[in-house]
Structure 1
């Protein structure tokens, strides 16, 4: 009996380097099935395309903004921060899941398993806190512009970007760190152990629900304010300023929506199917949806911000194609309102001035 106990203890202390896929299966008896080869191959190809596109597009957006003096403003600094967050998420989370889909096992050991699990949660939370704090920023700009003119833009930007990362990092300060994750063969990824339900609930409340509520409240207040005040803006410059601010607000709102659409299905299914009774192929599908959503933000920035789009085309030496696209966009966006032709507002009039400049006069 003592010999059997010693053997079992020895097996439990196997190093991470020798902790293979079969050994993971032996420690997770509740998961007796894995995704089909067809689902894994198809999911891996889609995730690979999304990963390459996400890395390229986020890097291009970041480079275009940071190397263009005219684009170095508060709004675009938020975009750069979100791009960096997305790149980290793609490299740390999506890449490791992609490898497990191609190899059909987790071959990097428990240490990296724990790291990837926590960073997936932290980066998702950081993205949501970015959008929540940016929503507060939009509320101040649109509804309390007089106050916004008085505050230090640099200090305010640093506060937003720092808080969006510090809040998620606080969840690493707990005594069980390093022993919270395990590999789940059915999902081909690492997840938090069942014994940490309170921690999971706290993560959901602080990193998901709180920034979501912040964003919803701010956006409702913004659009109520706009509805009541739009008729009061009689000057052309003021109307264009307001329209531009609403466009920026919609852009970040769409970023938030994409994050939620990508993560929510997986989060809801995991919270309902705690025993992992659903098909493994179904989990592959919602994991692929999350991976694709992580790569979509640059499309939103480029389609909704003309200056960023132009800068990216210039970096790629596609200026002529950009101008053709602009003319087509102007033509399709022009309309007839009250018998007068109306075009999309110019991007040159907005609150997002360089960090060392003052806000526009109203």
Structure 2
């Protein structure tokens, strides 16, 4: 089967996205782990999310490129199952991370509770962001047969008629985290608005409150970018019978792009992370020269 020219463009774009994601996420992890000023609980979810982006870009995207370059190729049974399962799980992991970050921001900004200042509690939440998608997606992938979806160019459960089995990961790993995230940020915005009114009446805002709001702003932008990148493909999967293959290709490129954009958001919105990126860049240039 002849490959059209625009498919080669998509493959090149995906290759650039993979490289940018791997470099950006590895830099993010390295910067947070090595710079004392960034070794705070607030940055732990960013490290975990970067790990998820690395796994996704090093497994899912390369298989997609191979499918584009080899039309009609079907992966072996075990690989097909793993691709279908990992795709759903990693989408869910990203969604659950957004909810975890939003809940953490709510407790930090809107309450005086020290609950999420505990390493044990936060790491328990981060463990759940991985465990919930893994467990919720497992039943249907055990009892149903996975097949290659010609529109998506990947293995999946699209042909399954087990709607209840599909409902579990959809609700638990996608809908519930999305709703929790929206509610958390809505409550934060309401709290900040009320705080500004009180500040206007009684004086200036504490510096640490301004810093918390800046961190919250970065996390909200992170969620907004995630929504823009992931929601088109999720909606297309729901209405797959009415969506042309070209639209699925664009949706998958957008989904992959999210992992590359996250480190850029960190660098633009967080001065300490930006300085960490520059420090590593300068160190590498000095070692070369």
Distance 1:151-1:90 versus aligned 2 partners, 3 A rule: closer
Distance 1:269-1:255 versus aligned 2 partners, 3 A rule: same
Partner of 1:295: 260
Partner of 1:240: 207
Check if 1:109 corresponds to 2:109: no
Which of the numbers 169, 176, 185 marks the counterpart of 1:210?
176
Partner of 1:196: 162
Which of the numbers 48, 53, 78 marks the counterpart of 1:86?
53
Check if 1:269 corresponds to 2:236: yes
Partner of 2:92: 125
Q: CA deviation at 1:51?
A: 0.6
Q: CA deviation at 1:315?
A: 0.8
Which of the numbers 34, 37, 44 marks the counterpart of 1:67?
34
Q: CA deviation at 1:84?
A: 0.5
Distance 1:35-1:83 versus aligned 2 partners, 3 A rule: farther
Partner of 2:125: 160
- Pairing of 1:220-235 with structure 2 (within 5 A): 220-233=186-199
Distance 1:202-1:250 versus aligned 2 partners, 3 A rule: same
1:191-211 superposed Cα distances (whole Å, 9 cap, x missing partner): 213223322232221111111
Partner of 2:111: 144
- Pairing of 1:20-31 with structure 2 (within 5 A): none
Task: Give secondary structure in 1 for the equivalent of 2:156.
Answer: strand
1:219-271 superposed Cα distances (whole Å, 9 cap, x missing partner): 111111111112444666x4322222122112122222222222211121221
Partner of 2:14: 47
Count residues with an aligned counterpart.
282
Structure that is richer in helix per residue: 2
State the distance in 2 between where 1:292 and 1:36 align.
Answer: 23
Structure possessing the higher radius of gyration over alpha carbons: 1
Which of the numbers 38, 49, 64 marks the counterpart of 1:97?
64
Structure 2: runs of 5+ lacking an equivalent: none
Q: CA deviation at 1:59?
A: 0.5
Distance 1:218-1:278 versus aligned 2 partners, 3 A rule: closer
Which of the numbers 148, 164, 171 marks the counterpart of 2:136?
171
- Equivalent residues of 2:28, 2:263 under 8 A apart: yes
State the distance in 1 between where 2:87 and 2:162 align.
Answer: 16
Q: Could you list the structure 1 runs, at least 4 aligned residues long, displaced by more than 6 angstroms after superposition.
A: none
Distance 1:97-1:226 versus aligned 2 partners, 3 A rule: same
Q: Output the TM-score relative to the length of structure 1.
A: 0.72
Task: Give secondary structure in 2 for the equivalent of 1:106.
Answer: coil
- Equivalent residues of 2:41, 2:117 under 8 A apart: no
Check if 1:183 corresponds to 2:183: no
Q: Output the TM-score relative to the length of structure 2.
A: 0.89
- Equivalent residues of 1:40, 1:284 under 8 A apart: no
